[in-house]
Amino acid sequence: MSSPSQKPSTAFVLASWAALFAGISAYLVGLWNAEMALSEKGFYFTVLMYGLFAAVSLQKSVRDRIEGIPVTPIYFGLSWASVGLAITLLTVGLWNAGMLLSEKGFYGMAFLLALFAAVTVQKNTRDLAASGEIASEPGPRFRWPSSSTTSE
């Protein structure tokens, strides 16, 4: 049961990428300039990367289910749990951080902007691939090895 998807406009694709770069850049610039231990910076960086991956994974698994592509319940559940865990980790980390409330809000908003934009970029990428606008599989230069071309 594949649902027809519309090709996103160029403006929407560019706005999505701009939001993704704005969210990630703001978060990372804030982190770079923060006066905190390197281990704390590593924690917040890891939470951002984990959150981005989890959000894209959740968007893909939700979209797969809508389009009738099989998604195992455990992967679907792990995707939801990962997004929740990333948000929880950031919330607990910021709650216990010795930062001004404005700094905590800055990190929270940059994080949520980046997560939302990552979902939107993933959606646009998938819609463009479905419309044939971009290749969804490797081209002639990047072919997957076939069983006839691999040596044992």
Q: What is the pLDDT of residues 50-100, one digit of tens each?
A: 999 999 999 999 999 998 999 999 999 999 999 999 999 999 999 999 889
pLDDT at 6: 79
Instruction: Yes or no: say if 94 and 102 are a contact pair by the CB < 8 Å rule.
Output: no
Q: Which of 105-109, 131-135, 142-146 has the highest mean pLDDT?
A: 105-109
Closest CA to 55 of 31, 91, 28, 20: 20
Q: For residue 44, what pLDDT is reported?
A: 96
Percentage above 70 pLDDT, the chain:
84
- Distances, alpha carbon 39 to alpha carbons 29, 44, 45, 98, in Å: 16, 9, 10, 14
- Is residue 119 scored above 90 in pLDDT? yes
> 90, 108 in Cβ contact below 8 A?
yes
The pTM score is 0.80
Q: Indicate whether 152 pLDDT > 60.
A: no
